[in-house]
Amino acid sequence: MTHIDQVPTPGAPRPVEIGVKPGTKRTNPFARVFDELVRFAQSRSLFMLHYCTGCGAVELPPAMTSRFDMERLGIQPMVSPRQADILLITGYVSVKTLKRVILTYEQMNSPKYVIGICSCTVNGGMYWQSYATAKKLNDYMPVDIYIAGCMPRPEAVIEGLRGLIENIRTGRADAWKDYYRRYDHYLGNQQRLFGADWQTPTDVIAEARHYDLFGPATLGAHTALLEQHQRPLEALEMRIEIPELMRRRSRSDQGGTAQ
């Protein structure tokens, strides 16, 4: 673990222009209809990964089962981050847990939404004075909706989810893009908490490049620090390397990840 002084302080988060403004529409009418359809489908089908960190988790079973039945709204629980759309953080997040939460968040496929349930995710709640608890969830990942309360009743949970659905349908729920565009900011906060050698298995910067989600604040001092010690994370590309046909190529330029 590196000392905390090695991590540059993030300072005040710079205001960053996010490319797509909320609710903007494409001009081509067919594309608009298509976008509407996709957004509607996205809003009516939400797979939920509940990371049951704290006491708030106990409010979810009633929200899912016969009394309130989330499936009416197209919301159902899923198991692995790859399958999920919503990451539900249901309570206080200790530093150790937060690492896993970030790993899980980065493994989800976008568009992805984070919902912080319970006051602990908003400001640490009753764990405000704890040395081991992350106070504000949205310092470490963009949060779409907070559902405050200690704990919020299932009605409140459903109400919050309805709000998220409305946001998705109108195209306003794109906080996930912020993670790519201001990665340096989030990474900085993470590094301050976990140390300078903090690294997740997901290569967020390469992902931003691949999907054209690169923003002006994706890179910065913190990502530079990350690059210093980062284990390479390129995918193992399939390569057909028949020695007889490859003799002219030198071994050095063949890439591949050495770990």
Partner 1 sequence: MDWLSAVSLDGLAAVDFRWLGLVLELILMPLIAFVVGLGLVLMLRKIAARLQRRVGPPLLQPLWDIIKLHAKETQTSHGLIHEIGIVMAIGGYVAAVTLLPVPGMNGLAAQGGLIALLYMTMIPSLGLALGVGQCANPNGSIGISRALTAMLAYDVPMVIVIFGVAFHFGSLNLVYLIAAQQAGGIATWGIVQMPLLALAGLFALQGMLGKQPFEIYVAPAEIATGPMVEMGGKFLGGLFVMQCFQLYTAGVLYVALFLGGGENWLTFLFKVFVVTAIPMTIAMVFPRYRTEDMVRLFWKWPTMIGLLGIAFVMN
Partner 2 sequence: MATSPTTVVDQLLAGLHLPDGFDAVAGVIREFLDQVTNSAIWTRYGQQSLEWLIGMNPVDRLFMLSALTLLLMLLLGRLRSAGVLAVLLYGAQFAALLSTDTLFGAPLAAAVRITVADQSLHWSYDALSWFFAMITIGTGFVTAWYAAGSWMRRYREAGRSARAFHVALALNCFGMLLLVGSADLLSLFLGWELVSWASFLLMALVGGPAAQAALKYLAYAISGAMLILGAIALIYGISGSFEYDAVVAAIRSMTDAQVWTLLLLLGGGFAVKLGLLPFHLWQAAAYAEAPGAGSVFLGAISARMGLFGIIVFIVGMIGVSRLMTLEIPYTFMSSRELIAWIAALTIIVPTYTALQQHDARYLLAWHGIGQGGYMLLGLMVGDAVGSAGGLLHCFNYAITQAALLMAVFAVVHRTGTADLNQLGGLVTRMPLTFLVLLFGIISLAGLPPMAGFVSKWMVYRSLITEGMPLLFVAAVVGTLGTILSVYKLIHNIFLGQLRVEHQEVAEAPLSMLIPMLGLSALIFLAGFIPGPALSWVAQVQGQLGLPVVPWVLGGIVDPRGGLDMIWLVGILMAGFGVGALVFYGFGGRSRRVHQLDNYAGGHFLTADVHYQYSDNFYAGLMHLIGPWYRGSFRWLERSLAATLDLVSFGAEGLYRLAQPTLLMLAAAVAMLAWVL
How far apart are alpha carbons 94 and 104 in whole angstroms?
A: 15
Backbone phi and psi for residue 124, each to the nearest 5 degrees, phi listed first: 90, -20
**Of positions 237, 250, 252, 253, contacts partner 2 by CB under 8 A:** 237
Task: Report the first-to-last Cα separation within the chain, whole angstroms.
Answer: 20
Binding mask 152-191 for partner 1 (x = CB under 8 A): ----------------------------------------
Q: Check binding of 103 to partner 2 (CB under 8 A).
A: yes
Binds 41, which of partner 2, partner 1, none (CB < 5 to 8 A, cut-off by type)? partner 1
Bridge partner residues of 87 (DSSP):
49, 114
Nearest approach, Cβ of 163 to partner 2 (angstroms)?
Answer: 26
Q: Cβ of residue 134: shortest distance to partner 1, in angstroms?
A: 25
Query: How many of the chain's residues bind partner 2 (CB under 8 A)?
Result: 36
Interface map 105-144 toward partner 2 (x if CB under 8 A): --x-------------------------------------
Contact 93, 121 (CB under 8 A): yes
CB of 158 to partner 2, least distance (A): 27
* Residue closer to partner 2, measured from CB, 62 or 202: 202
CB proximity list for 97: less than 8 A, separation 6 or greater: 53
Q: How far, CA to CA in Å, does 219 sit from each of 137, 146, 187?
A: 21, 28, 10
Task: Please give the residues from 92 up to 151 whose contact with partner 1 meets the rule CB under 8 A.
Answer: 107-111
From 127-135, 156-164, 165-173, 230-238, span contacting partner 2 (CB under 8 A): 230-238
Please tell me the distance from the alpha carbon of residue 31 to that of residue 69, in angstroms, as a whole number: 34
CA dist., res. 193 & res. 98, Å (int): 10
Classify strands 86-89 and 113-117 as parallel, antiparallel or unpaired: parallel
Are the C-beta atoms of 196 and 151 separated by less than 8 Å? no
Cβ 88 vs Cβ 64: under 8 Å: no
Residues lying near partner 1 in the complex (CB under 8 A) = 37-38, 40-42, 44-45, 65-66, 69, 71-72, 74, 78-85, 107-111, 207, 211, 235-236, 238
Residues lying near partner 2 in the complex (CB under 8 A) = 80-82, 99-101, 103-104, 107, 200-203, 206-207, 210-211, 231, 233-246, 256-259
